[in-house]
Amino acid sequence: MKTTIATLKKMKAENNKITMLTCYDYSIAKLMDETGVEILLIGDSLGNTMLGYENTLPVTMEDMIAHTAAVSRGAKNALILADMPFMSYQTSTYDAVVNAGRLMKEGHAHAVKLEGGARVCPQIRAIVDADIPVCAHIGLTPQSINAFGGFKVQGKSEEAARTLIEDAKKVEEAGASLLVLEGIPAKLAAIITKTVSIPTIGIGAGADCDGQVLVYQDMLGMFTDYVPKFVKQFAAVGEIMRQAFADYMKEVKEGTFPTEAHTYKIDDEIIEKLY
């Protein structure tokens, strides 16, 4: 069954947890979709995970559209949620609507996500008025890394916690259908989840959100250099891949791959004529 915004609202109402994973390409989208994960997020984290940038700021609309389109082709049922990259919506409501529209028309997304609370409400309203569902994203928003002075847990003081609660209410009022809560204390995420009627999806925000999201390379153990506290590695895929690459190399070098089973045949008579 196709996941829609209505499905997700119903899941919140029925206390049925929502699953979201980042996804950036066709083959991984197919695998995730087959498991029934409700939302595939083409996060601008692809700047780090796929393109090797230090942060998400260099990611372009073209990057987001290409990866969103690839994921859309691989997923039959999941809701396709595309991130709006840095400076694709901060500049004006006009830019926000045009770029959200491109993610829908060219990337075939079903909804878009942007970072920020009260200050991006005009953009949220304008995008929603164009009939494009919006997911807001507050807390440790990676596009604000320079303003935050690094990746720091947000909402720890009373004032900061109150601001985040107000931000959550305002993005809901502006028309957001979903809300990502990133890098905030679990008890604050629980209050926000009770305060708003839209589903909250947490990453580093504890178990009381309506759903969870992880970057797939993190949860598969494909990056071991730095593992954030909130990540659980569900499999050591990185190690399996490394071993497979090494085995391949060894077999090619010793001549044990390819074997007869991996090769195409031709009649010997034809071959003789070629000498």
Question: How many residues in the shown chain lie near ligand KIV by CB under 6 A?
Answer: 12
Q: Which two tokens stand for residue 189?
A: 């995420």
**Binders of ligand KIV in range 147-186 (CB under 6 A):** 180, 182
Of 39 and 97, nearer to ligand KIV (C-beta) is 39
The helix (H) or strand (E) run that includes residue 21 is strand 18-22
DSSP letter at 25 equals S
Helix axes 93-105, 61-74, angle to 10 degrees: 30
Site string for ligand KIV, 21-60 (x = CB under 6 A): -x------------------x-xxx---------------
Where b means 16+ CB within 10 Å and e means fewer, 182-210 reads: bbbbeebbbbbbeebebbbbbbbbbebbb
**Binders of ligand KIV in range 216-275 (CB under 6 A):** none
Q: Which residue in the list 38, 115, 172, 182 is annotated as catalytic?
A: 182
Q: How far apart are CA 201 and CA 203, in angstroms?
A: 7
The residue within the footprint of ligand KIV, chosen from 33, 38, 63, 83 (CB under 6 A), is 83
Instruction: Show contacts of 258-265: CB within 8 Å, 24+ apart.
Output: none
Shortest distance (Å) from residue 71 CB to ligand KIV:
13
- Does the annotation count 159 as an active-site position? no
Instruction: Using alpha carbons, select from 23, 55, 66 the residue that is nearest to residue 41.
Output: 23
Q: Mapping DSSP to helix (H, G, I), strand (E, B) and coil, where does residue 215 land? A: coil
Of 66 and 257, nearer to ligand KIV (C-beta) is 66
Answer yes or no whether residue 81 interacts with ligand KIV by CB under 6 A. no
**Binders of ligand KIV in range 108-147 (CB under 6 A):** 137
Shortest distance (Å) from residue 175 CB to ligand KIV:
20
Residues labelled as active-site residues: 182
Which residues of this protein are in contact with ligand KIV, per CB under 6 A? 22, 41, 43-45, 83, 137, 180, 182, 203, 213, 215
